[in-house]
Amino acid sequence: MRLERRDQTSLALIVAAPVAAIIVSLTLSGGLIALAGANPFDAYFEMVRGAFGSRLSISETLTRTTPLILTGLAAAVAFRAKLWNIGGEGQLYLGALIAAWLGHNMAAAVPAPLAIPIILLAGMVAGALLLLGPVLLRIRLGVDEVVTTLILNFIVLLFVSMMIEGPMKDPLAFGWPQSVAVESDVLLPKILARTRLHIGLIIALVAALLIWFVQTRTVFGLETKAAGLNQKAAAFAGIALGKTLLGVACISGALAGLAGAIEVTGLKGYVTLDLSPGYGYSGIVVAMLAGLNPLGVVITALFVAIVFVGADSMSRALGVPSFIADVIVSISLLTMLVSLLFTTYRVRR
Amino acid sequence: MTAEPVLELSNISKRFGNLLANDDISLSLAQGELLALLGENGAGKTTLMNILFGHYTADEGEVRAFGSFLPPGRPRAAIEAGIGMVHQHFTLAGNLSVLDNIVIGTEALSKLRSDRSKARNKLTDLSEQFGLQVNPEALVGDLSVGEKQRVEILKALYRDARVLILDEPTAVLTSIEAEQLFKTLKGMTETGLSVIFISHKLAEVMSASERVVILRAGKVVAEKSTADTDRAELAELMVGRRVTRPVRQDQTAGGEILAARDVDVVEDGRKTLNKISFAVHSGEILGIIGVSGNGQASLGRLTCGLAAASAGTLVRNGQETRAFSPHALVEAGTARIPEDRNTEGAVGEMAIWENAVLERIHNPLFSSRGLVDRAACRTFTDELISRFDVRGAAPDTGTRLLSGGNMQKLILGRNLATSPNLIIANQPTRGLDEGAIAAVHSELLEARKTGAAILLISEDLDEVLALSDRVQAIFNGRLSEPIAATEADSKSVGLMMAGIWGGTDAA
């Protein structure tokens, strides 16, 4: 038995890979659910009901989808250019921190219609700047960005922790480590009344479309694609590899930073250390499941959000620990990696 | 012929995906015979030899050595049966001595001490017997390519090989070294060894072999006694049709388009080019001939804008500089054909149209304000495909699916479509079949006719002599003085390739 490279990967196969990954993951996790003493079919039914059962649960699921789309795009854009940005979590928190600071201090001076774009933009700049360091180190000195971006996550989290327990601590928070809150007039408008769903979702969807457009229709997109697939050929064609990588880093970091700024201005209003339940890392799963396709990211972000929101209500109804959500998402990533192998190779005897 | 063949392959078939690499091949080798296996690249020669040696498993058929069946897929069984293989790319450890390289793998790991003196004696005996001079204590990394090949042959003989298989043994040798090699092989067959060598070069097959088996598209198309055939017949059998390469017409060269004056290039801390000077003129082909690995890659990178001169000057259209950039070169009308089309020439995973326009995507023809004009790109690619006869291609086909020859036509086409005034062609026909070679040659000659200056860097002596107006040899990072094509013949150029020019030895 050996693996042989496929001549061409059909579209059906590209779609089939993540679907297969998800089915395998749900099947395997079903075994764990059974071990925990519940019927897997009931559990998944509860999960879907938890995610879609009511107007409120649908809005909750979509609220969860929003940051996942953005961090998923951040990973997809970077990975496509072979830039291994594992620092989405840190970029998200830095974007969030800047947004909280501006939202608290600037709101009085600047009218809201102007302040909101400035805050979101500042979050993007913060995320981009945070990624630029590791990328410059890679270009100049060949430092592995997987290590640097990953480590920066912890540094940023400690920095956020310092800020929200020190200079940015909310004096009205009864001693909880919590940042000052943004003024209410710079909060993002809601899409649905009496829910938490805000226009961040629309921003995320527009971002996905925009990234798709840039990747498929612009010179920059073509050049980054070539540089990501074959550095030697790209250099031969005269593409400045360093410059394209920096461009990609800016976009990727900005998307993750935007996710943080939107979480603060759209949802929480302030920064805590549990602002993100690992959106930066889940974004990597979202991107991989989507085959790094920006439009696919929207769908896979929804899947991951369903699992997380649904797992909570499943846990309440059946007593299965909600950690099962992490298991499902992680296994789906592993199976996706295996499926990807079969989209480029076939097994021959 | 002796009663029993030393080696017998019967009805071997091997399939890779949709490609039938070997189709029902049978051949036999007699004791003391020097057999040539002739065929174009992709004809299945190497696949067949790898099956024989156990690297691949045949889908059908069997191999017999000295009358007994060889188990498929086991190189060790082949070695034990007395078959030795010298690969095109050597399998030696550069940081070990010649003796270590030869002994390695022949002694049991459980033995505490290796018996050096016995091994050295055996090696010395072998090298004397067959005239393969090497110093057993020399470090393999310090040896020349020809010497490394000798080590490879000795390695096989040390393992008591009675049948020797050489895969394209002359690909890395100068013509003088090649001659020496065939003399050695002949001597071996006289002592009762049997040799198969793989080749696509007609000249050496005619002069060295006793019998020749011709492969084409995975099949044995003919088997000839070398004495009963000639080059023309072999060429036709190999290609399957009569192919004539175009002939260069005399013409007068114009002004200087590209020149290098005393240029040094340092790459990875090593001086790869040493005080080289050359000049290419409009309507002229300057051939740079040399054995692979003497600085051609650096010269290619220098002239294609990927490496800078550390000393000396480059001149393009009268403008002096230390380094070109790919972008500026393309803007100035330079066609660049990279040495390795698969890694440098095109991105295999992208569509053909994307590769066709990649290096001039900033041109207003293909994009405006940062947006790609996809319709214009596809139209351009369509024209390219039909004008340069790129087979099996549409603008949206994956580039990886093109054969070597068609990919080269695509690369040539995207460059020539814009009527360049300078063409840098680095190994433009490497690995191509006769038909594709003829097509590339006529495109280059056509460009020369319309006034383009062409720098042809090649390892193929026939190609350089056929196309060039003037020839310079490259050896060890240095360039010889140019000689006119009219004064160049394979003997004089062969000496230049070995670093012997102007009465001095450049080595």
Pick the last residue of a domain from B239, B254, B287: B239
Report B:268-307 residues touching A (Cβ under 8 A).
304-306
Range of the domain at B100: 7-239
pLDDT at A349: 53
pLDDT at B507: 47
pLDDT at A239: 93
Give which of B327, B358, B410, B415 to mutate to test A binding, by max A Cβ within 10 Å: B358
Distance, in Å, from the CA atom of A182 to the CA atom of B275, rounded to the nearest integer, reads 68
Pick the last residue of a domain from B214, B239, B264: B239
Would you place residue A7 in the very low, low, confident or very high pLDDT band (cuts 50, 70, 90)? low
End-to-end CA distance of chain B: 45
Task: Report the half-sphere exposure of A113 (CA within 13 A, side-chain side).
Answer: 0
**Model confidence pLDDT, tens digit, residues A196-241:** 999 999 999 999 999 999 999 999 999 999 999 999 999 999 999 9
Judgement on whether residues B159 and B292 belong to the same structural domain of the protein: no
Would you place residue A4 in the very low, low, confident or very high pLDDT band (cuts 50, 70, 90)? low
Judgement on whether residues B233 and B152 belong to the same structural domain of the protein: yes
B62: contact with A, CB 8 A cutoff? no
Distance from CA of A238 to the nearest CA of B (A): 5
What does the DSSP 8-state code read for residue B486? G
Distance, in Å, from the CA atom of A257 to the CA atom of B116, rounded to the nearest integer, reads 66
End-to-end CA distance of chain A: 4
Judgement on whether residues B253 and B232 belong to the same structural domain of the protein: no
Q: Please state which of the four CATH numbers 3.30.360, 2.40.128, 1.10.20, 1.10.3470 is assigned to the domain occupying A2-348.
A: 1.10.3470
Judgement on whether residues B297 and B412 belong to the same structural domain of the protein: no
Find the closest chain B residue to A347 by CA distance: B17
Q: Kindly list the domain boundaries of chain A, sorted by start residue.
A: 2-348
Strand-pair partners of B219: B216
Question: Is B1 within a domain?
Answer: no
Pick the last residue of a domain from B217, B239, B261: B239
Would you place residue B503 in the very low, low, confident or very high pLDDT band (cuts 50, 70, 90)? low
Question: Is B340 within a domain?
Answer: no
Sign of the dihedral through C-alpha B490, B495, B497, B498: positive
**Model confidence pLDDT, tens digit, residues B176-218:** 788 888 998 998 899 889 999 988 888 888 888 999 999 888 8
Average of pLDDT values for B60-87? 86
**Model confidence pLDDT, tens digit, residues B88-98:** 778 888 888 88
Q: What is the ipTM of this complex?
A: 0.84
Distance from CA of A235 to the nearest CA of B (A): 8
Question: Is B167 within a domain?
Answer: yes
Strand-pair partners of A322: none
Q: Which of A8, A220, A235 sits opposite B306 (nearest CB)?
A: A235
Residue B282: which CATH number? 3.40.50.300
B16: contact with A, CB 8 A cutoff? yes
**Model confidence pLDDT, tens digit, residues B370-408:** 999 999 999 999 999 988 888 777 888 888 888 777 888
Q: Which of B350, B354, B401 sits opposite A7 (nearest CB)?
A: B401
Tally A–B CB contacts below 8 A: 73
Average of pLDDT values for A30-37? 88
pLDDT at B1: 45
List CB contacts (< 8 A) between A218 and chain B. Answer: 370-372
Would you call A8 and B374 a contact, using CB atoms and an 8 Å cutoff?
no
Question: Is B2 within a domain?
Answer: no
Judgement on whether residues B308 and B374 belong to the same structural domain of the protein: no
Distance from CA of B447 to the nearest CA of A (A): 22
Would you call A8 and B401 a contact, using CB atoms and an 8 Å cutoff?
yes
Question: Is B498 within a domain?
Answer: yes
Q: Which amino acid is at B27?
A: L
Judgement on whether residues B28 and B153 belong to the same structural domain of the protein: yes
How many domains does chain B fold into? 3
Distance from CA of B343 to the nearest CA of A (A): 6
**Model confidence pLDDT, tens digit, residues A43-91:** 889 889 999 988 999 999 999 999 999 999 999 999 999 999 999 999 9
Give which of A82, A236, A244, A344 to mutate to test B binding, by max B Cβ within 10 Å: A236
| Chain centroid offset of residue B66 CA | 33
Find the closest chain A residue to B374 by CA distance: A217
Spatial CB neighbours of B131, under 8 Å, sequence gap ≥ 6: B183, B184, B187
Residue length of chain A: 349
Structure tokens at B65: 């050595």
Question: Is B50 within a domain?
Answer: yes
| Chain centroid offset of residue A188 CA | 19
* Secondary structure class of B390 (helix, strand, coil): coil
pLDDT at A108: 76
Strand-pair partners of A347: A3
Distance from CA of B364 to the nearest CA of A (A): 11
Would you place residue B109 in the very low, low, confident or very high pLDDT band (cuts 50, 70, 90)? low
- Please give, one letter per residue, the 3-state secondary structure of B210-237: CEEEEEECCEEEEEEEHHHCCHHHHHHH
Share of chain B above pLDDT 90, in %: 27
Judgement on whether residues B99 and B192 belong to the same structural domain of the protein: yes
Question: Is B253 within a domain?
Answer: yes
| Chain centroid offset of residue B313 CA | 31
B325: contact with A, CB 8 A cutoff? yes
